[in-house]
Amino acid sequence: MSSFKHTLGLSLLAFGITQANLALAATVTPVTGNEVEARVSSILDNMNQSEKINFTRVDDGHMIPSLLKWGIKGTVAYDSSMGVHVNNATFGAQYPSQSALAATWSINRAKEFGLAVAYETRISGGQQMLSPGANLYRTPYNGRSAEYVSGEDPFLGAVLAPAIVNGIQAQGIQASGKHYVANEQEANRQALNVKVDERTLRELYLPGFESMVKNANVASIMCGFNKINGDYACENHHLITDILKGEWGYQGTVISDFNAIHDAFKGAWAGTDIDMPSGLQFNEANLLPYLWSGQLTQNVIDDKVKRNLRAIVSYDFQEHLNTAKTLDHPEYGQRASLNAAREGIVLLRNEKMHSGKPLLPLARTAKIAVIGNWAHEAPASPFGTANSPPNSYVTELSGLQQLASNSTNVTYLSDMSLNPKTATWFQPATGKNDVNNSGVKAEYFSNTSFSGDPVVTRVEPGVNLDWMTGSNVTQAGTTAVSGFSPNAGAFSARFTATIKPTISGPQVFKVRADGPYKVWVNDKLVVESNGVPYSNDVVNALTTSGTTGSLKAGKSYSVKLEYQRVQGNFIPVLGSVTGVQMSWAALRPPADLSKYDAVVVAVGNNYENEGEGSDHGYDLPDQQAELIKHVAKANAKTIVVMHGGGVADMHPWAKKVGATLQAWFPGQQGGQALAEILYGKVNPSGKLPITIDKHIEDNPSYASYPDPAAYRGDNALTEMTYSEGLYMGYRGYDKKHAKPLYPFGFGLSYTTFDYSDLKLSSNVMAPGATVNVRFTLTNTGDKAGFEVAQLYVQPVKPAVDRPEKELKGFTKVYLQPGESKTVSIPIDSRSLAYYVDNTASWDVDAGKFKILVGADSENLQLKGTLKTLFPEHLTTRDSNPLPAPLRKAVQVDASQTY
């Protein structure tokens, strides 16, 4: 039970805490909102100018600054979207990515995540959680797709984001909505100017943030790194002061992303309230001259101080700061993680086999081969602030083995799985398949040019070296690396070995390292990297792979890796490594693969190639697409499990495999959830929160963003135009009348559902009214399960350019076999409205609107017609992205808190 003390009234409600929460603790002393404001004013009125300015900046590890004269010790904020990130480790559970949470389409799962991650934040000693992210999935390139809960649709984010915030804040922890706004790419994010028209901003990119303000009163909003229409996000007066604080009436705090303020005057005038984490701009030297000259008025500084003080007083952080404790209830996070994984995994393909039955679910007696390091290793997370290594976990391999009728039914094919810890090497002298000859000859040079004699020559058991820990972790165990560390200066190393493939055909080699490298196999160059980081702010080790020609099983082949290291280019945190790793595997399956009842291939991105600070390509890494095609040719019962914050190219093999699942980053219990779905213990219910393209060229954003590499290096581009405007994602596909590989909202089940009897509570939308769209949903199959029913609005003969249809409602319903339920989805005038440029108005034209209901954006079985008799003008201040019933649904009551 929490020990914090709530306060009531204006300020309390401004942070999403309701009177119902007062039952949480016997120590609660109700005070009025007026008293909160009185306390804030009493402190402000007695602060001198120096204290005021220094209360808008932090450089000591806090988030809200300390003010010890008034008993304010400052607050501590933790990342991330997939777990509480404390001191480069995860405190508590590793959760599925927020893209996976988006795929649940579940308010309950969003609340449960918020409650659990806030509980762990509180027990860890933190007061703030830098989550959730409400940016959109504009492009599959985005390195931070894992951190965003909106998918490609603003309405989905407008429902799930405030549900997360309310879960977090009901626990007495402050949430921070990020990254405000138009932060849809990572490549060159520090210099990027996003050019986007006002209507597109209002209709697509702002509603998730608007909803967090209006339906959860999120404690803080974090402004991003990028520019929007010429001004940095944290220096954008229009977005922060005009819209966020003005039109939406936001009373919380605006915090900068890390050192995202570039100009003290612009950041202060724009409305950013805290310059963190280094306080480089909001200091006395920078701000006092503007105050003396009158360019900044005193009320600008005072407003920042008031907001920051109000955040402290409203949560009673002045007297009752959380302190680190033992995590007595790890089951809260474990349960939330498992539930989100179960409901977030999306079944995309499930073909009928020769038996006439779909491949999935599998019999527990089935003989299964498993391929891919993703299945063998701990569940991954992205590189960067979302990196959350699990403390306990179920791998996908162990999940299958535990649920199989006998664990021996599940076989892991290590020879087809890239892993530097388990790669087999033989010393080059003999190449004999003998344990005494295993290992790699390593020569270390005291320069970066391999010149002269090596200063150290030794046999390494493999190439999985970490200079920070001075260790080499391989299947032979962990050995020490002597003589080299990050403080040893620049050096180079040459590794030579022999391999003996066990499967004939091409082999794939992969290297991950913090410097330039090259790999030769039988003197042919197969892998190389120039060692130049993709990003200058959050720098990840570089991973590259390549393939050999066809090699024969049992024959020896020479391997040489040359690696150079220049001190200080890379950082050993947030999922990166200071060191060098090399692995290899077969790209062709063994001849006996056809004997298995199914083959599970686990592929996708992880912290090696996806994360903060850089964008990635659309192709699967490490020749995984080629691997899948050959495995599927050898065994038609191939099940592909895709991973990553977003999706990768499936088209080359999509129709050649028996089943496909999108598992995202599934969290610490992901292996259990996947096994339960594959064996049919859990009926899959995830739905795509994004569109999956057949070809990247089909993506509506491709015209303006064809290649992330153009935003890297010395001549990197610094401008991004959202040229598709309103027609991002499924809206763009509708406009072109094109078919994606898998449409927005799509997801298969092991049962079937029927939609019928659509009725509107009124055929006319009156001003201020809510219309309930009712229909019957029936489980017509033989398995219980969830269905996500989706509602889209289609204007008939619109007066302005509008998307063909837009998501404006959804509900997730659980049905037993044969069961029917009457389902109701609310819509209101805002559901029909469009933003009018150069106004503060959402307009609804008189006319007709089709109401479309179904299982996904391309499968809308039910249709109705709604009329508006008169034009209606909704203000940006008073209108809400959510109809009234949904505003209530995203709230959290006291009975749900921990």
Cα–Cα distances in Å, from 245 out to 210, 221, 248, 251, 270? 11, 11, 6, 7, 10
Q: What is the pLDDT of residue 429?
A: 63
Taking 80 as the threshold, does the pLDDT of residue 593 lie above it?
yes
Q: Please report which residue ranges of 567-683 form alpha helices under DSSP H.
A: 624-634, 670-678
What CA–CA distances, in Å, run from 517 to 45, 529, 605, 731? 61, 5, 21, 44
Q: Tell me if the domain spanning 753-896 has CATH number 2.60.40.10.
A: yes
pLDDT, residue 4, reads 30
Range in 6-20, 404-418, 609-623, 787-801 the model is least confident about: 6-20
CA distance 782 to 748: 15
Mean predicted confidence (pLDDT) in 679-688:
98
Sign of CA dihedral 223, 226, 227, 229: negative
Assign domain 435-586 to its CATH superfamily. Galactose-binding domain-like (2.60.120.260)
Task: State the average pLDDT over residues 9-17.
Answer: 33
Q: Which of 422-436, 530-544, 620-634, 761-775 has the lowest mean pLDDT?
A: 422-436
Domain parsing of the chain, residue ranges: 1-46, 49-331, 333-417+592-736, 435-586, 753-896
User: Rounded to whole angstroms, what are the CA distances from 361 to 150, 710, 754, 814, 860?
Assistant: 30, 44, 21, 19, 26
**pLDDT at position 484, please?**
62
User: Does pLDDT of 3 surpass 50?
Assistant: no
Q: What is the pLDDT of residues 653-662, one digit of tens each?
A: 999 999 999 9
Three-state secondary-structure class, residue 564: strand
Q: What is the DSSP string of 531-558?
A: ---S-SSS---EEEEEE-S-B-TT--EE
Confidence of residue 31 (pLDDT cuts 50, 70, 90): very low
- 715 in Cβ contact with 827 (< 8 Å): no
Q: Measure the CA dihedral 366/369/372/378, to 10°.
A: 50
- In sequence order, what DSSP letters do the residues of 107-122 get, joined into one string? HHHHHHHHHHHHHHHH
Q: Considering the entire predicted model, what is its pTM?
A: 0.95
| CB neighbourhood size of 267 (10 A) | 28
Question: Comparing 464-473, 780-789, 805-814, which segment has the lowest mean pLDDT?
Answer: 464-473
Once rounded to an integer, what is the mean pLDDT over residues 74-91? 92
Write out pLDDT tens, residues 330-386: 999 999 999 999 999 999 999 999 889 999 999 999 999 999 999 999 999 999 999
Least confident interval from 37-51, 427-441, 587-601: 427-441
Instruction: Return the CATH architecture of domain 333-417+592-736.
Output: 3-Layer(aba) Sandwich (3.40)
User: Does residue 6 surpass a pLDDT of 60?
Assistant: no
Question: For residue 483, how many other CB atoms are within 10 A of its CB?
Answer: 13
Beta-strand relationship, 464-466 and 579-586: antiparallel
CATH of the structural domain 49-331, one choice from 3.90.226.10, 2.60.40.1180, 3.20.20.300, 3.40.800.10: 3.20.20.300
pLDDT in tens, 291-330: 999 999 999 999 999 999 999 999 999 888 889 999 999 9
* Among 638, 633, 630, 746, CA closest to 360: 638
Of the chain, the percentage scoring pLDDT greater than 90 comes to 88
pLDDT at 430: 58
Question: Residues 778-795: what's their mean pLDDT?
Answer: 98
Mean pLDDT score, 482-498: 79
Query: How high is the mean pLDDT of the chain?
Result: 93
State residue 36's pLDDT score. Answer: 86
Asked if pLDDT for residue 13 goes beyond 60, the answer is no
Q: Tell me: pLDDT of 213 over 90.
A: yes
Given this model, what pLDDT does residue 432 score? 61
Judged against a pLDDT cut of 70, whether residue 707 lies above it is answered with yes
Would you state the pLDDT for residue 34? 82
Instruction: Say what percent of the chain tops pLDDT 70.
Output: 94
Q: What is the pLDDT of residue 26?
A: 28
pLDDT: is 390 or 321 the higher one?
Answer: 390
pLDDT for 517 beyond 60: yes
Segment 512-522 mean pLDDT:
96
46 burial type by CB count under 10 A (0-12 exposed, 13-18 middle, 19+ buried): exposed
Tens-place pLDDT, residues 426-463: 988 655 666 568 899 999 999 999 999 999 999 999 99
